[in-house]
Chains A and B, each alone.
Chain A
Amino acid sequence: MSLLKPFSRLPGLNSANILLVEREEQFQQSLADVLVEETTFTVNVRLAKSLPLPMENEESRPRIDLVVFIINLTSELSLQSAEASLKSLDPGYFLGKVCFMVTNARSAAAPIERLDVARKLAASLYCPLLFAEDQTPDGVTNATERLLTILKVAAGLVPMATSLYLSNLTRSTVPPDIEQPSFN
Chain B
Amino acid sequence: MADSTKRCLQRIMRLIPSYMLRTTLEKWGRFTVEQQKSIDFTRSKWALTEVLLSICEENKFAMKHLTGLEMIYIMDNPNQGMWYVLQLLDPEDDAHSVELMQFKEQFKSHLKELVRHVSIKIKKHTDQAVWIRIAWGDAFSPPNHLKPTYVVHYLQTPSVFVTNLTSKQKPLLSQAMLLSTRHQAIKDANLSGRNLTAIRDLLMRKYQQVFPTKSPSPLAENNQTISNPLIEKEQAEPAANRLHMACKAFGGGALPQLQSAVYKLETKFRDHSNKTMTEREEPFRCVVKFASTNLLESLRHCASSGIASTPVTPLLSCIPLKGRNYFVITDNGPGPSSQTHQPQN
List A residues at the B interface (Cβ < 8 Å).
Answer: 19, 25, 32-33, 36, 42-49, 53-54, 56-57, 61
Q: Return chain B residues, CB-CB under 8 Å to A19.
A: 234
B230-A36 in contact (CB<8A): yes
Question: Interface residues of A: mostly helix, strand, loop or mixed?
Answer: mixed
A57-B228 in contact (CB<8A): no
Q: List 21 A-B contacts (CB under 8 A).
A: A25-B305, A32-B228, A36-B230, A43-B230, A44-B230, A44-B232, A45-B230, A45-B231, A45-B232, A46-B231, A46-B233, A47-B231, A47-B233, A48-B234, A49-B235, A49-B239, A54-B234, A54-B238, A56-B237, A57-B234, A61-B234
Q: Which among B233, B234, B237, B239 has the highest number of chain A CB atoms within 10 Å?
A: B234
Give the complex CA separation of A57 and B238 in angstroms: 12
Q: Return chain B residues, CB-CB under 8 Å to A42.
A: 230
Give the complex CA separation of A75 and B232 in angstroms: 25
Give the complex CA separation of A53 and B231 in angstroms: 16
Query: What are the 6 closest A-B residue pairs judged by CB atoms, nearest first?
Result: A48-B234, A36-B230, A32-B231, A45-B231, A47-B233, A53-B234
Nearest chain A CB to B243's CB is how many angstroms away?
12
B232-A54 in contact (CB<8A): no
Nearest chain B CB to A40's CB is how many angstroms away?
14
Interface hits, B56-85 → A, CB 8 Å: none
- Residue B306 interfacial (CB < 8 Å): yes
Give the complex CA separation of A42 and B231 in angstroms: 11
Q: Return chain A residues, CB-CB under 8 Å to B305.
A: 25
Q: Return chain A residues, CB-CB under 8 Å to B235.
A: 48-49, 53-54
Query: Chain B residue with minimal CB distance to A38?
Result: B230
Query: Chain B residue with minimal CB distance to A21?
Result: B234
B230-A54 in contact (CB<8A): no
Nearest chain A CB to B226's CB is how many angstroms away?
11
A36-B231, A44-B230 given. 9 additional CB < 8 A pairs? A32-B231, A43-B230, A46-B231, A46-B233, A48-B233, A49-B235, A53-B234, A54-B235, A56-B237
Q: Return chain A residues, CB-CB under 8 Å to B232.
A: 44-47
Q: Return chain A residues, CB-CB under 8 Å to B238.
A: 54
Give the complex CA separation of A47 and B234 in angstroms: 6
Chain B 233-268 near chain A by CB (<8 Å), digits 1 or 0: 111011100000000000000000000000000000
Q: Return chain B residues, CB-CB under 8 Å to A33.
A: 228, 231
Give the complex CA separation of A36 and B306 in angstroms: 27
Q: Return chain B residues, CB-CB under 8 Å to A43.
A: 230
Give the complex CA separation of A46 and B306 in angstroms: 19
Give the complex CA separation of A32 and B239 in angstroms: 18
Query: Chain B residue with minimal CB distance to A24?
Result: B305
Give the complex CA separation of A54 and B233 in angstroms: 11
Interface hits, B193-239 → A, CB 8 Å: 228, 230-235, 237-239
Q: Which among A19, A36, A53 has the highest number of chain B CB atoms within 10 Å?
A: A36
Q: Return chain A residues, CB-CB under 8 Å to B234.
A: 19, 46-48, 53-54, 57, 61
A49-B306 in contact (CB<8A): yes
Give the complex CA separation of A48 and B232 in angstroms: 9
Give the complex CA separation of A68 and B306 in angstroms: 21
Nearest chain B CB to A85's CB is how many angstroms away?
12
Nearest chain B CB to A70's CB is how many angstroms away?
14
Give the complex CA separation of A49 and B239 in angstroms: 9
B237-A54 in contact (CB<8A): yes
Nearest chain B CB to A84's CB is how many angstroms away?
14
Query: Chain B residue with minimal CB distance to A54?
Result: B235
Give the complex CA separation of A28 and B238 in angstroms: 18
Q: Return chain A residues, CB-CB under 8 Å to B228.
A: 32-33, 36
Give the complex CA separation of A80 and B235 in angstroms: 19
Q: Return chain B residues, CB-CB under 8 Å to A49.
A: 235, 239, 306
Q: Return chain B residues, CB-CB under 8 Å to A54.
A: 234-235, 237-238
Give the complex CA separation of A44 and B229 in angstroms: 9
Nearest chain A CB to B235's CB is how many angstroms away?
5
Nearest chain A CB to B32's CB is how many angstroms away?
57
Nearest chain B CB to A72's CB is how many angstroms away?
13
